[in-house]
Structure 1
Amino acid sequence: MKIKASILIILIVTTCIFTGCEYDNFTEPTSTLTGRVVYNGEPVGVRTNGPQLELWEDGHELRAQFPIHVTHDGTFSAVLFDGEYKLVRKTNSPWLPQLTDTIIINVNGHTAVDVPVEPYFTLSNISFQHNNGEITANFFLNKIIETANLDNVNLYLGKNLLIDDVRHDLKTTLSTDNITIDGSNNMVVEIPANLRSLGYIFVRIGVKASASGELYYSQVQKVNL
């Protein structure tokens, strides 16, 4: 009995070794999915690693789900296996959630896709001017979703490209009493001394709807001082 048990153990160990080799040499995904989150064909500015999309893949024993993080300029990318995926626009983003409205994506090699969204608010006609140590921001605030309520509008200054409600060197909030919805607005802020010494700053504007924890942002711009 001991001899039989020893032979059985050897067979099990041998099988595990060969099986382990097979797992160690599994094929990694090589196809890429790239895209943009867009409104009216233009990329939507967001907080890096804030809003997310979700990819779902069926057809296996387990239904796989992949979170897709959107970068500050509204782009995203993922490395995947070829196949059919379902993309979902999640909640807590600066656009309407569309959990039941999935987008079918067939990934084959390099695949690019635009993901349309409906933001609560958008910003347009944006310009930044530097004069005598101050930044003047001009913009048009558009209300897209009729039932949306405005929470706040902020101007961000920073020494790095990634600036948002979490990463910034200066944040100035414009009082809602002084904001014109569906109209032109402006903000004037003094540039801190530590930023003036750089010779440049990065700037952007963010608008937040009450229904979301995330802001819709303008694209980051660099202003020479």
Structure 2
Amino acid sequence: MSCFNACKKDNYAPPTNKFTGRVVYQGTPLGLKNNNGGTVYFELWQGGYGKSGAINVYFNQDGSFSDLLFNGTYKMVIPTSQGPFMSIENPETHTDTIPLVLTGDKTMDIEVMPYYMINNAKFIIGADSVVTASCSVKKIITDTNAKDIQFVALYVNRTDFVDDNNSFVSNTIAGGDISDMNNLSFTAKIPTNIANANIGVGKQNYFYARIGLKIVGLDDMLFSDVVKVSL
């Protein structure tokens, strides 16, 4: 159970066990959206302490997570509405529920099955302030659960928080316009003055870039790593 003010009110000492890890595919962390603390989460369920609801633990944009918990036995579940991926059957429970026993600090990776992976993402920025990016996309889920690509996009932002809501310039390729999944390329010009920021190429000589992939029917996008590009 994770609590702070509630623990004080109920005379419980606050939790001290640090539970950390990443959401991964074959050991590779998945890039996600981080909107004021994350948008994709998993649930931890534990009886006792007067708490009947789930503890929501949010993933950061690099796929990592961290929370403080009490010792005890938990059930970990990723809701089906969460993430650009599917949960994997746990060998112990034979469901998508993962058992978790905490007796101190613990680090673990959560293995999932993404619909796609963004590979070989590369970014360069030229003297003309144009960011050029390239990547390949691999379809991972190919059975009846497969989903189509809605679009793939390059995003550029002033800070290292980069996604479809945190960018000042972008370039999008619609899924139906992708002719070669092994060779996607994008360009985006950084303006002289960025609207609502009063910062352009004359005031900042570095920016952050990322490639995002939107899957048809899913709210949560998949992203590449954030990369710093300098003029």
Interval containing the TM-score (normalised by the shorter chain)? 0.7 to 0.9
After superposing on structure 2, the runs of 4+ consecutive aligned residues of structure 1 that deviate more than 6 Å are none
How many angstroms apart in 1 are the aligned matches of 2:59 and 2:18? 15
Which AA in structure 2 matches 1:178? D
Q: Is 2:213 the counterpart of 1:207?
A: yes
Cα RMSD of the aligned pairs, angstroms, is: 2.0
Name the structure with the higher strand share.
1
- 1:179, distance to aligned residue in structure 2 (A): 1.7
CA distance 1:112–1:78, shift in 2 (3 Å): same
- 1:64, distance to aligned residue in structure 2 (A): 4.2
Q: Is 2:56 the counterpart of 1:50?
A: no
- 1:182, distance to aligned residue in structure 2 (A): 3.8
Q: Is 2:123 the counterpart of 1:123?
A: no
SS in 2 for 1:33: strand
How many angstroms apart in 2 are the aligned matches of 1:165 and 1:92? 17
CA distance 1:116–1:181, shift in 2 (3 Å): farther
How many angstroms apart in 2 are the aligned matches of 1:151 and 1:64? 34
Match of 2:201 in 1: 196
Which AA in structure 1 matches 2:201? R
Return the index of the structure with the highest Cα Rg.
1
How many angstroms apart in 1 are the aligned matches of 2:147 and 2:96? 20
- 1:106, distance to aligned residue in structure 2 (A): 1.3
Name the structure with the higher helix share.
1
- 1:181, distance to aligned residue in structure 2 (A): 5.4
How many angstroms apart in 2 are the aligned matches of 1:107 and 1:182? 42
Q: Percent identity?
A: 31
**Could you give the per-residue CA deviations for residues 138-186 of structure 1, whole angstroms, max 9, x where no partner exists?**
1001111112111111111000111111221122211334324542211
Total equivalences in the alignment: 204
Which AA in structure 2 matches 1:51? V
* Comparing 170-179 and 79-88, the one that deviates more: 170-179
CA contact (8 A) 1:150 1:208 kept: yes
TM-score (norm 1): 0.84
CA contact (8 A) 1:44 1:74 kept: yes
Any residues of structure 2 matched to 1:122-201 within 5 Å, and which? 122-131=117-126, 132-146=128-142, 147-180=146-179, 182-194=181-193, 195-197=200-202, 198-201=204-207
Any residues of structure 2 matched to 1:11-50 within 5 Å, and which? 25-48=11-34, 49-50=38-39
Structure 2 unaligned regions, length at least 5: 1-7, 90-94, 194-199
CA distance 1:103–1:180, shift in 2 (3 Å): farther
- 1:57, distance to aligned residue in structure 2 (A): 0.9
- 1:111, distance to aligned residue in structure 2 (A): 0.4
How many angstroms apart in 2 are the aligned matches of 1:203 and 1:61? 45
Match of 1:14 in 2: none
TM-score (norm 2): 0.81
**Could you give the per-residue CA deviations for residues 28-72 of structure 1, whole angstroms, max 9, x where no partner exists?**
111110010001101110001111111111356654410011111
CA contact (8 A) 1:136 1:189 kept: yes
How many angstroms apart in 2 are the aligned matches of 1:23 and 1:61? 12
